[in-house]
Structure 1
Amino acid sequence: MGDSGVPSACPQQDGDGGAESARNSSAAPVDSQSPSEAPALDGFPLKHSNTLTNRQRGNEVSALPATLDTLSIHQLAAQGELIQLKEHLRKGENLVNKPDERGFTPLIWAAAFGEIETVRHLLEWGADPHALAKERESALALASMGGYTDIVTMLLDRDVDINTYDWNGGTPLLYAVRGNHVKCVEALLACGADLTEEADSGYTPMDLAVALGHKKVQQVIENHILKLFQNKKKK
């Protein structure tokens, strides 16, 4: 069991799934292919956030001390301001699961920006890992989009729906594949993600990996399918 308190059966984040690479992936659309390189993906509906916190822009301080008390609980969660976040949560009941105008809870924001310690504390304070935003976005899907494997496995350890399909056209596995987050794909597959789920455009995770040229992800999926067949033969 790793330091995130999740079973070792769900692989932990390393190299390609690290915080910096994941944060870079959230800064812009993940697939960099031009229309001529991947014309089949023109209609692929998965969306990516291009919003950055100050910390993700490389600033050492995410907000000036004089302005921290003006930030909402959702902004504090996204920026990993744990001390101020805890103070805000003490001001009223049920704030830990309070949705914003998009339906995002503090946990969803923290997961989206890879703030693992904030995610850990919010879960300890009673945050609901199953909460869905207005377009069915989940903490798991947004962590998968960013490649934050430690957060993904932490959420999976709390029995969240691994195959939640959102209105942007994707599942956590589809987002991880699109982002080329190999370790995140491994973690999701190890915990039972459905390889047959299709995006609105009809792409399965394998179709998407092939179309984007994500060869390592392809290999992970192929190895997983092979293991499934081998296990089936043993039974």
Structure 2
Amino acid sequence: MSFLKQTLTAALFVVATFTSFYTSAVSDATTQADTQQSATRPNMETLKARYFDAAREGDSAMLSAFYQAGLDVNVADEKGYTALILAAYHGHTDTVNFLISEANANPCQEDNRGNTALMGAIFKGHVSVAKQLVFADCDIDEENEQGQTALMFASLFDRQEIIDTLIDKGANPAHMDKAGNSVADIALSQGNYELAKVLREQNAN
């Protein structure tokens, strides 16, 4: 082999070896950078967890940031709780107002058991939140999986202010759940005889 040919062969070997190592190094560096970026970049589940925490805490500014970033305002967690359901359950009047009025959250959306934001607010006794939700564009006699309505929740927990508002809005005092209980029956089960009497009178009318 001539000296020129030997020199050219050696040069090509060096170039090939350098290219191989360079490509490998670039690939390793890129993989490492991607891994580091993935480690520092929150995934969707983490973002959702922060979103739901903001709803529980009544952090309207944080919820607004998520909304502006394009997160579906009606996204639900593993129990079917939306931001609106959580905010209502925890009594955050301003946050409920923001979610409905500005973020266009669905006030009729149910959790995995068929309960609504209104039912959650009544259960916890958050009167101002419940009154907001009563006037949302939903079926006032929307039922959960047990066939219970918001009026039944109000009767069970003796939320008289909400009962009056619900009935004024058209809630049916004669409604019966899947177990055959009426709204008045539920009041009686709690020893609330006066409320049961009022409900039966309204039913008769």
- What TM-score do you get using the length of structure 1 for normalisation? 0.60
Deviation sequence 1:169-191 (CA, Å, 0-9, x none) = 52111111111111111111111
Amino acid at match of 1:121: F
Unpaired runs of 5+ residues, structure 1, are 1-68, 230-235
Partner of 2:145: 167
Partner of 1:232: none
Is 1:132 aligned to residue 110 of structure 2?
yes
Shift of 1:222: 4.5
Aligned pair partner of 2:63 in 85, 89, 96: 85
Unpaired runs of 5+ residues, structure 2, are 1-46
Partner of 2:92: 115
Determine the C-alpha separation between the residues in 2 that align with 1:91 and 1:78.
20
Determine the C-alpha separation between the residues in 1 that align with 2:118 and 2:52.
17
- What TM-score do you get using the length of structure 2 for normalisation? 0.68
* 3-state DSSP of counterpart to 2:153: helix
Partner of 2:191: 213
Shift of 1:156: 2.6
Q: 1:110 to 1:168 in 2, by over 3 A?
A: farther
Give the structure with the larger helix fraction: 2
Is 1:224 aligned to residue 195 of structure 2?
no
Deviation sequence 1:57-86 (CA, Å, 0-9, x none) = xxxxxxxxxxxx995212211221222222
Q: Where does 1:1-235 land on structure 2 (aligned, <5 Å)?
A: 72-94=50-72, 96-124=73-101, 125-222=103-200, 224-225=202-203, 229=205
Q: 1:220 to 1:111 in 2, by over 3 A?
A: farther
* 3-state DSSP of counterpart to 1:155: helix
Query: Where do 4+ consecutive residues of structure 1 move more than 4 Å?
Result: none
**RMSD between aligned residues:** 2.3
Instruction: Tell which has more relative contact order, 1 or 2 (C-alpha 8 A, sep 6+).
Output: 1
**Contact kept in structure 2, 1:136 and 1:167, CA below 8 Å:** yes
Shift of 1:217: 2.6
Q: 1:70 to 1:139 in 2, by over 3 A?
A: closer
Of all paired residues, the percent bearing the same amino acid is 25
**Contact kept in structure 2, 1:148 and 1:184, CA below 8 Å:** no
Deviation sequence 1:15-69 (CA, Å, 0-9, x none) = xxxxxxxxxxxxxxxxxxxxxxxxxxxxxxxxxxxxxxxxxxxxxxxxxxxxxx9
Deviation sequence 1:102-156 (CA, Å, 0-9, x none) = 2221011111222111100111221111212222221122122223232223223
